[in-house]
Amino acid sequence: MTNVAQMNETGKNIFCPIDLHQNKMMVGIATDRGRPAFKEYDTDWLGGVERLVARLHLLRERNPGAEVWVAYEASGCGFRLADLMEEQGFRVAVLAPTNLPVTPRSRTNKTDKKDVVRILEVLRGHVLAGNRLPEVWIPPQELRDDREVVRRRLAVAEQLADVKNKILGLLRRYGLPRPENMANNWTKKHVRWLHSVVTELEWGAGRALASLLRELEFYWGECEAVEREVNALAGHDRYRTRVAALTSFKGVAPLTAMVFLTELGDLDRFPNRRALGNYLGLTPRSWESGEQTDRKGRISKQGPSRVRKVLNQAAWSLVRWDPAWKARYESLVESSKRKKKAKGKRKAIVAVMRLLGIALWRTALETGPAPAMAAA
């Protein structure tokens, strides 16, 4: 997004804030400091979006030299609208919802038009006054496509875990514990036993367990299939060198490395480790004012939850198998005990997650720049 120092010479600006939803979008169009004119459009790319684009082009023709600024909040709708607007030569920003101004009153009195006005005020403040714009980084299309495969692998694993929990829950309800001669769940021996239990249960419970076992087999197969896709992607020129460097850490598997690299994208956009920690949501919140200068709360948990999840798994493996990291973790636990802070182990592992994330970031940067991706 171009800032106020790069405004057009005429000084005229056409603002187009959008409250975007899955099927509809509320648009408010205003020129300079004028009042917005509201209109609702369909989000169909060959319907409402085309009509909106035509309207913006018409306004620009009526105001020679004017710049068109489009902004909307990041959501599950993705960046397709931003791509289309940039193709038309408009200035586009996708805003971070967590960084937009919110008041207690606005939380209880919310409408699409008021959301549009809120975005308009932020956009105007940036263009006309030079205020900071809370925009998110828009990844190139190739990276978005890579994310789909990696995210699918994580989603399938979650669905597999859900099916396992449902099977164990059904067995608990019917008082069927795992036989004592079986050390672990989900081995071949355990699964054979589960199939034998189907005929021992009541008719309805047996049919439910049989269905769950079919679902279990499906997700096992799907997990292996998508895992192969992720491994193939990890071997691509875009990732091969960095994945090899990151997996040198004990506990960091190729999947963990791919989640880290695809979710963070351009690693150079983080100027320092503090910025990275903030992005990962692994830095504590603070409430400091006046005499209160050291009031820290829980971690913010903002940013990509997928990265936090794989960092948590990797951190536990790291402190279990790497002596240096284990010593660091135990030192953090002892420090919490001396300060008489509760949940010392939990806080210590979060600190290890943050340190590991920083170490992975630095290691990836030291391997050199990744091959350039096609621009968004």
Q: Tell me the average pLDDT across 55-70.
A: 94
Output the pTM of the full model.
0.87
> Per-residue pLDDT tens for 221-267?
999 999 999 999 999 999 999 999 999 999 999 999 999 999 999 99
What integer pLDDT is reported at residue 38 of this predicted model?
Answer: 97
User: How many angstroms from the chain centroid is the CA of residue 116?
Assistant: 24
What is the rounded distance in angstroms from the CA atom of residue 354 to the CA atom of residue 360?
10
How far are the Cα atoms of 132, 309, 323, 328, 332 from residue 344, in angstroms, in the given order? 37, 19, 20, 13, 8
pLDDT surpasses 50 at 5:
no
What is the rounded distance in angstroms from the CA atom of residue 376 to the CA atom of residue 87?
10
What integer pLDDT is reported at residue 1 of this predicted model?
Answer: 54
What is the rounded distance in angstroms from the CA atom of residue 354 to the CA atom of residue 281?
9
What does the domain layout of the chain look like in residue ranges? 4-129, 141-234, 240-366
**Under a CB-based contact definition with an 8 Å cutoff, are residues 311 and 361 in contact?**
no
What is the rounded distance in angstroms from the CA atom of residue 40 to the CA atom of residue 113?
10
> Per-residue pLDDT tens for 186-233?
999 999 999 999 999 999 999 999 999 999 999 999 999 999 999 999
Q: Is pLDDT larger for residue 105 or for residue 267? A: 267
- Looking at mean pLDDT, say which of 7-16, 287-296, 360-369 comes out highest: 360-369
What is the rounded distance in angstroms from the CA atom of residue 341 to the CA atom of residue 336?
5
What is the rounded distance in angstroms from the CA atom of residue 181 to the CA atom of residue 268?
53
What is the rounded distance in angstroms from the CA atom of residue 69 to the CA atom of residue 75?
19
pLDDT surpasses 60 at 294:
no
Q: Is pLDDT larger for residue 173 or for residue 299? A: 173
Looking at 3.30.420, 3.30.70, 2.30.30, 2.60.450, the CATH number of the domain 4-129 comes to 3.30.420
What is the rounded distance in angstroms from the CA atom of residue 22 to the CA atom of residue 65?
33
DSSP class of 330: H
